[in-house]
Every structure is written in structure tokens, then in C-alpha cells.
Amino acid sequence: MKIAFAGTPEFAATALKSILEAGFQVPLVLTQPDRPAGRGMQLQPSPVKQLALQHGIAVDQPERLRTPEQQAALADCRPDVLVVAAYGLLLPQAVLDLPRLGCLNIHGSLLPRWRGAAPIHRAIEAGDAETGITIMQMEAGLDTGPMLLKEALPILATDTTASLHDRLAELGGRMIVQALRLLEKGGLSATVQPEDGVCYAHKIEKSEAALDFRSSAAVLARKLRAFNPFPGGAASINGQTIKLWAGEALVATGEAGLVLQADAQGVVVACGEGALRLTQLQKPGGKRLAAADFLRGFPIEVGQKFDLPE
């Protein structure tokens, strides 16, 4: 089979690497245009583009795929199948119809739960016990297509979005190779997604970083895990906003936002229910630090209070 691939971040690069290592022919890769990144804001190629160039694969980077001109490289390639993973562009029906065997998507959840842009973050934030990978046949709707393969993965109590992302990426790479081999043999069957259990993983916004200590400590601890590495948590004290990267829920009582403890073990803040021990923090312009190191450069004392959002 001749396979075209569309993807952009590391999650997609892991899948492309698996496809190439399995020996499939990939004549064309679609990926997002180079974006400014780093301190110098220099244009940076996506992880998928970097991998494609290492393997001598042609790369196309259209801003959109709406016009025949934007679709030309894919049409000229005449792929049997298009594999899509975290590409970042919606595919119009004309593109979905181009490959002879359709378009397969690697989605980081157990569909129909967590359709949409941020399934890994939202699964952790919601306290789900498991997530997984669904290989689906793409159609015009947002992650609504029939399911081809599905495999669950437990969400560990210590998982952040970063760690769960890496495990799901490896699983997705293995499963897409399995799906392509079955498709090649004509042995891939589709199952329509059930209507029960549909929910949407909306894109993560920077504004969500602010922690409201009137929430329960368990909810806030999950939020910190879900928002690591982006956008992290944030809270203000002493007139300064600090970043919060890790914490654990404790059994304790106190006025929401009140500092109950501040030592090498962490900064314990009373919440609407329980208390949150913050163990990794970052002052403005600084680095992420363990609580003991952070407190040496940014003193916080028992009895002080974090601001509560209005």
C-alpha cells in the first residue's frame, strides 16, 4: 500500500516512525507550516517534518486544505490510505474522498468519550481510571467516524499529560501498524460509535491555569497533573503570580487559600475540601523547583493567604 501521512507534533511523529519501521511505503507527509518557537522565536519545523526529512520523504505544509491547489500534492500522490494523527487541520470531504481506502485517524481516547482537541488532558482532569487509543475511519464530523481498533490503557495516579501522552503515542504507533496490516489483507471491520457516552475534550486555554482554592484538593491535584506540561497551574500570593506544577491532596481543614504549612515537604494550602500540598513551584522568571528550593528564594509563611479568583 501507498500511505500518505498527516500529522504535526511528537505524538504523530511516534506513529510515523512506527509505520516506517514496519516497512510501509510513505511517499508524502502533510504537516503544519513551520512556527516560531524558543527564546529567539525562530521558525521551527514540526517533529513530523523533521522525521520525514530524515527519511527523504516529500513534505507539504499547506495553511488549509480547502482549495484544489492546497490539495494538489495529496491528489498527485494518489495514496491508497491517508493516516492522520494530531494534524491540526480539519479535512474537507474532498480530501477524505481522495485515498482509495479512506482516511484512518489515531485518536487518544476510548471513543466516543473525549472527542475533540485535548482528550489526554481532559481524561486526567476528569479523574478517569482509563483511557486508550481508537483507530477510526474518518468522516466529516469531529471524531464521529466508525471505530476500527480500540485498546485501553490505565491512567496511573502519578500520570501527567506528559507521561500519559508518551505511553499513548507508543500504543498508537503499534495499533496503526496493526490496522494497516489488517487493511492490506481486507480484514479490518468497522463499528459505529455508540450514542451513549459522547463527550468533548475542548482545547486547553491558558486562562484555565488559575487555581481556585475553593475547589476540592482532589480536583486541583488532578488539574495540576492534567495541565503539566501546558499550561501549568497558577495562583497569586504577596502580589505575585507563581506557577504550580505538582501537588497532592491531603485531609485537612482551613479557610480556602490559607497556607497551613510551608517547609521542605511542600506548601500546604487549605481548599474547599481538604488541602493541597504543592511540591513543585516556579516564581516569575525562575525555573521549576522542588518546594524546599523554591522557598529559599520565595519565602511563604504559615498564615499567609493565596488570592481567590473573583
d(CA 153, CA 124): 12
pLDDT tens figures, 194-234: 999 999 999 999 999 999 999 999 999 999 999 999 999 99
Coil/strand/helix, residue 104: strand
pTM of this structure? 0.95
Domain count, the chain: 2
Looking at the fold, whether 188 and 43 belong to one and the same domain comes out as: yes
Spans of the chain below 50 pLDDT: none
Same domain as 234, residue 119 = no
Same domain for 175 and 27? Answer: yes
Domain identity same for 121 and 227: no
pLDDT of 14 reads 98
Residues 89 and 216 in one domain: no
Neighbours of 209 (CB within 10 A): 19
Percent of the chain with pLDDT over 90: 94
Contact (CB, 8 A) for 104 and 138: yes
- 117 with 233, same domain: the answer is no
In angstroms, how far is CA 294 from the centroid of its own chain?
28
Q: Check which CATH number belongs to the domain holding 175 and give it.
A: 3.40.50.170
Do 126 and 113 lie in a common domain?
yes
Mean pLDDT across the chain, nearest whole number?
A: 96
Same domain, 144 and 84: yes
Q: What is the grid cell recorded at 277?
A: 500540598
- 156 and 122 assigned to the same domain: yes
The reported pLDDT for the residue numbered 225 is 98
User: Do 68 and 186 fall within a single domain?
Assistant: yes
pLDDT at residue 187, rounded to an integer? 86
Torsion, CA 20, CA 25, CA 46, CA 99, rounded to 10:
-130
Judgement on whether residues 196 and 267 belong to the same structural domain of the protein: no
Beta strand 240-250 pairing with 259-263: unpaired
Domain boundary among 185, 201, 217: 201
> Residue 182: which domain range?
2-201
- Please measure the distance between the N-terminal and C-terminal CA atoms of the chain and give it in whole angstroms: 57
* Beta partners for residue 107, in sequence order: 134
Output the pLDDT for position 91: 94
Q: Which pLDDT tens digit goes with each residue over 114-150?
A: 999 999 999 999 999 999 999 999 998 899 999 999 9
